[in-house]
Chain A
Amino acid sequence: GAGVSQSPSNKVTEKGKDVELRCDPISGHTALYWYRQSLGQGLEFLIYFQGNSAPDKSGLPSDRFSAERTGGSVSTLTIQRTQQEDSAVYLCASSSRTEYEAFFGQGTRLTVV
């Protein structure tokens, strides 16, 4: 596709359930990032994948959060045993070695009830 695609766009889940958020980066982009943004807040870094290198997981807030990137392309962010404080917009972005900026997807709005 032409841009970064995220699915679902909205997700409402019950507290304690697991959720999976998907990100399809721009084709050929080697770097992929996950951020989250709470209402009216800035961007909180979660995890960064660069090519075949080990991902930078330093931003994951707890061991309930994990992410993988298969075949250097699609990424899935998994949140286990969701809590209300996990409610936020989860943003995925990708960038290439030759381009400079990161291009963001439209985000997944997660609401934990």
Chain B
Amino acid sequence: ELKVEQNPLFLSMQEGKNYTIYCNYSTTSDRLYWYRQDPGKSLESLFVLLSNGAVKQEGRLMASLDTKARLSTLHITAAVHDLSATYFCAGRVGQFYFGTGTSLTVIP
């Protein structure tokens, strides 16, 4: 079974600041995924990281993968209020195994 741990669980940050969400996983996963969930909504795919050293960026979000350390990070640059949401990372061995999520609140 693949175990996925995220931290922090809750993150409150001011607009304009930078921060990183961490995702550790226990065993080999073919890929690492990041999703966003707005309150009352479903999950939206953000990034798929395919291999060691992969880095993907979309706007103020950048995700990276270190398969040797079994670690993925989601870095937020110069946060804005629109980024407030819950972010999930997930690995996949057959089914998707999700982390507990990081609830991000960006304060004006």
Chain A positions within 8 Å of B, measured between CB atoms, are: 33, 35, 42-43, 45, 48, 50, 56, 59, 91, 93, 100-107
B42→A45 contact, CB < 8 A: no
B42→A42 contact, CB < 8 A: no
Question: Which residue of A43, A101, A103, A107 is within 8 Å of B98 (Cβ)?
Answer: A43
Question: Which residue of A35, A45, A101 is within 8 Å of B45 (Cβ)?
Answer: A101
> Which of chain A's residues have a CB closer than 8 A to the CB of B42?
91, 104-107
B95→A45 contact, CB < 8 A: yes
A43→B88 contact, CB < 8 A: yes
The answer to whether B75 has its CB under 8 Å from any CB of chain A is no
> Which of chain A's residues have a CB closer than 8 A to the CB of B50?
100
A102→B96 contact, CB < 8 A: yes
Query: In angstroms, how far is the closest chain A Cβ from the Cβ of B30?
Result: 9
A101→B95 contact, CB < 8 A: no
B98→A33 contact, CB < 8 A: no
Please name the residue on chain B nearest to A101 by beta carbon.
B45
Please name the residue on chain A nearest to B48 by beta carbon.
A100
> Total A-B pairs in contact (CB under 8 Å)?
43
B88→A48 contact, CB < 8 A: no
Of listed B33, B48, B94, B99, residue having the most chain A CB within 10 A = B94
Question: Which residue of B44, B94, B100 is within 8 Å of A48 (Cβ)?
Answer: B94
The answer to whether B101 has its CB under 8 Å from any CB of chain A is yes
Q: Return 14 A-B CB contacts under 8 Å, by A number.
A: A45-B95, A50-B94, A91-B42, A100-B31, A100-B48, A100-B50, A101-B33, A101-B45, A102-B33, A102-B96, A103-B45, A104-B35, A106-B41, A106-B42
Of listed B42, B45, B99, residue having the most chain A CB within 10 A = B42
6 new A-B contacts, CB < 8 A, other than A42-B101, A43-B98, A100-B50, are: A35-B98, A43-B43, A91-B42, A102-B96, A104-B44, A106-B42
A42→B48 contact, CB < 8 A: no
